[in-house]
Amino acid sequence: MPARCRRSRSSPRPQPTSRVWSGTVPPPPPSRPRRTGSGCPRSVVAGTVREVPTDRDLRFLSAADQAAVVAAGEVSPAELVDVALERIADVQPRLNCFAHVWADQAREEARAATEALARGGSLGPLHGVPVAVKETTQVTGRAFTLGSRTHEHVVAGHDAHVTAALRRAGAIVVGATTSPEFAHTLVTDSPLWGATRNPWNPSLAPGGSSGGSAVAVATGCVALAEGSDMGGSVRIPAAWCGVVGLKPGIGRIPMDVLPGLFDSISHHGPLARSVDDARLFLRCTQGPDDRDIQSVTTPLDLDGPTPSDVRGMRVGLSVDLGSWWVHAEIADAVRSAAAALEAAGAVVEEVDPGLDAADEWVWLQLWGVFMSAYFGNLLEEWADRMDPDVVSLIELGNRMSATEYKRLELARTDVWRRVSGVLAGRDALLCPTMATPPVPAAKADQVSVQHPDDGRFHTNDMTGVFNLVAPCPALSVPCGVHTDASAAGVPIGLQIVGHRWREDVVLRLGRAVELALPEVTGRRPPG
């Protein structure tokens, strides 16, 4: 849920608290040896066949392949959990991506998963696979902190739908990842935990608000992590960390973590290292669920591997959405990805959606009202211990009248007409996920930037406008790498926006990009 500018900070930030780990985490080994098996186990998940490499680093196996080696008896759930906990212990001091690690609970669930294997019978598609959820998502009996001192001692009384769905699929939740306070911005730096850092360059931000989840996936702590997206909070960190992030159409994954059920910009989505794993996450967590009145009642058929044939598909390409200033390396990478799809048989056409700063302002006002309605009652007691940007957003929402809020629906209608216009007769729209390289990791290190009066919209992300058309899925996949000194080695993301609830189409296009750009999509961060 991104902030839209870099700001200097005039008020001091509260000091973050120390992390509390639940259970014993073994010290990280100097370098974990690669696990070598005696053959290539074949996955029986969803009727597919997967050849799993015999020379494998368990940390970087896909979620589907982790499930395959568990089902084949090659690796136990306990071993996968121990590998995840060891990796977290190694990564956490450097990058600060976990708010909570539940080692004892994870080991207990791993033992239960092993016993289920011994009994035989059907297994879930994620049986024994360690995963993480964002600290804004409820896990029964565990801390529900929202990156805020206001929730430092809150304990969840139930599993959110997405948590319960992952568990039904056999996944083991090892911990909760970091978020900025109330998931409000694209920099994962909270009063409670401090700054989370980019795995490619720790001085830079990983993105937000699901920054901890993206870092955990990119570094091999887990193969899958849950995120939430109200303005780009899954796609932004996916782009800056070099992983896959999906905002499904609203209601595809039931959203029951908010106090109200009629919010119209909020989504759960996966962070994954591959499009196949993002698809698997979606398959396991899609609805319906009466806890979310907007949950989609007809699930997609997502069995089997992701199709990648794009021959004959028609896609629009807009590098600037009509008005954004876009960094030259990002523009070049997005054009190269579009050319790769064209070489694979897709028809690519330049389009102009005509989106601009006024549309982003519509999103920001909606976000301010959201923050005011849900967290405004905290200001009187907590304002001096909250992120000043959160306070500003709440105050923005407080200033809006009911009539002004209702008029935002007219503006959203106009955005929809423009987006649907460029999608008409096409399968998807291609554009950058981010317009700029990452900003500094810590908010205290950010400075105000004076932009030229060039008629362009200068901001970091290109995601929030697509939350205004909430039924449209949007996927971020790696498509390039920065080379200039300020962000050398940091990934670049391509955003693929589809028709209402056609996640299958954006995933197909994303898989084609992966296959066309293996030198980009197969990278691992240092360390």
Q: Please state, in angstroms and rounded to a whole number, the distance separating the CA atoms of residues 407 and 387.
A: 29
DSSP for 111-165, written as a single string:
HHHHHHHHH-S---TTTT-EEEEETTS--TTSB--TTSGGGTT-B-SS--HHHHH
| Annotated catalytic residue, options 62, 179, 209, 476 | 209
ω before 288 within 30° of 0 (cis)? Answer: yes
Q: 389: closest CA among 367, 407, 410, 361?
A: 367
| Cα 231–Cα 234–Cα 239 angle in degrees, nearest 5 | 105
Angstrom CA distances, 185 to 176, 211, 263, stand at 18, 10, 18
| Annotated catalytic residue, options 233, 266, 295, 476 | 233
27 by DSSP, 3-state: which? coil
Q: 398: closest CA among 369, 363, 377?
A: 369
| Annotated catalytic residue, options 134, 210, 247, 266 | 134
DSSP for 207-264, written as a single string:
-SSSHHHHHHHHTTS-SEEEEEESSSTTHHHHHHHT-EEEEPSTTSS---SSS-S--S
How many helices (H) and strands (E) the chain has is answered by: 14, 16
DSSP for 51-96, written as a single string:
B--SEE-GGGS-HHHHHHHHHTTSS-HHHHHHHHHHHHHHHHHHH-
Q: Phi and psi dihedrals of 479, rounded to 5? A: -140, 0
Amino acid at 412: R
Using an 8 Å Cβ cutoff, are 490 and 481 in contact?
Answer: yes
Q: Please state, in angstroms and rounded to a whole number, the distance separating the CA atoms of residues 481 and 487.
A: 9
Residues, the chain: 527
**Which tokens hold the place of 177?**
């990842």
Using an 8 Å Cβ cutoff, are 162 and 226 in contact?
Answer: yes
Which residue reads 């060039």 in tokens?
Answer: 454
Q: How many CB atoms lie within 10 A of CB 29?
A: 10
Q: What is the DSSP letter of 375?
A: H
SS3 of 421-432: the string is HHHCCCCEEEEE
99 by DSSP, 3-state: which? strand
Using an 8 Å Cβ cutoff, are 145 and 100 in contact?
Answer: yes
**Which tokens hold the place of 298?**
């007809």
| Residue 233 annotated as catalytic | yes
Using an 8 Å Cβ cutoff, are 125 and 283 in contact?
Answer: yes
| Residue 406 annotated as catalytic | no
Using an 8 Å Cβ cutoff, are 352 and 384 in contact?
Answer: no
Using an 8 Å Cβ cutoff, are 230 and 258 in contact?
Answer: no
| Residue 209 annotated as catalytic | yes
For the annotated catalytic residues, the residue numbers are: 134, 209, 233
